[in-house]
């Protein structure tokens, strides 16, 4: 299994809007394309920017290439990308792999 871990930073006042986009656009689109939704987590912020982490899974990089092609051809992907980009201050997207002792391995 491969995981994509997207971690973004948003201003505290935009956190709910970002989470709404993930829930209403991101999750349906990504799961329809074949990615597994693993989790979404957020920090509290306390007046500072908030980190939001969204994790997706798929069997291997060959499958990721198929998912990615499906997404690029989906008009919702472009809407989702531009909507979330306007709220992001920064972030990272990383491929990670469960360790042998991980419950998901």
Q: What integer pLDDT is reported at residue 50 of this predicted model? A: 95
CB atoms within 10 A of CB 73: 9
Percent of the chain at pLDDT above 70?
Answer: 98
Query: DSSP string spanning 14-42?
Result: GHHHHHHHIIIIIHHHHHHHTPEEEEEEE
46-62 confidence digits (pLDDT tens) = 778 999 999 999 999 99
Pull the structure tokens for residue 58.
Answer: 């798929």
Half-sphere exposure of 98 (CA within 13 A, CB side): 16
Q: What is the band of 105 on the pLDDT scale with cuts at 50, 70, 90? A: low
Record the pTM. Answer: 0.89
With a cut of 80, say whether residue 104 has pLDDT above it. Answer: no
């Amino acid at each position: 299994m491969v995981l994509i871990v997207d971690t973004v930073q948003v201003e505290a006042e935009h956190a709910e809007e970002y989470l709404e986009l993930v829930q209403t656009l991101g999750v349906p689109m990504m799961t329809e394309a074949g990615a597994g939704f693993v989790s979404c987590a957020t920090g509290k912020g306390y007046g500072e920017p908030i980190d939001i982490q969204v994790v997706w899974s798929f069997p291997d990089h060959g499958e990721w290439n198929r998912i990615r092609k499906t997404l690029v051809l989906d008009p919702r992907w472009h809407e989702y990308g531009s909507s979330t980009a306007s709220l992001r201050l920064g972030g990272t997207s990383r491929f990670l792999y469960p360790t042998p002792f991980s419950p998901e391995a």
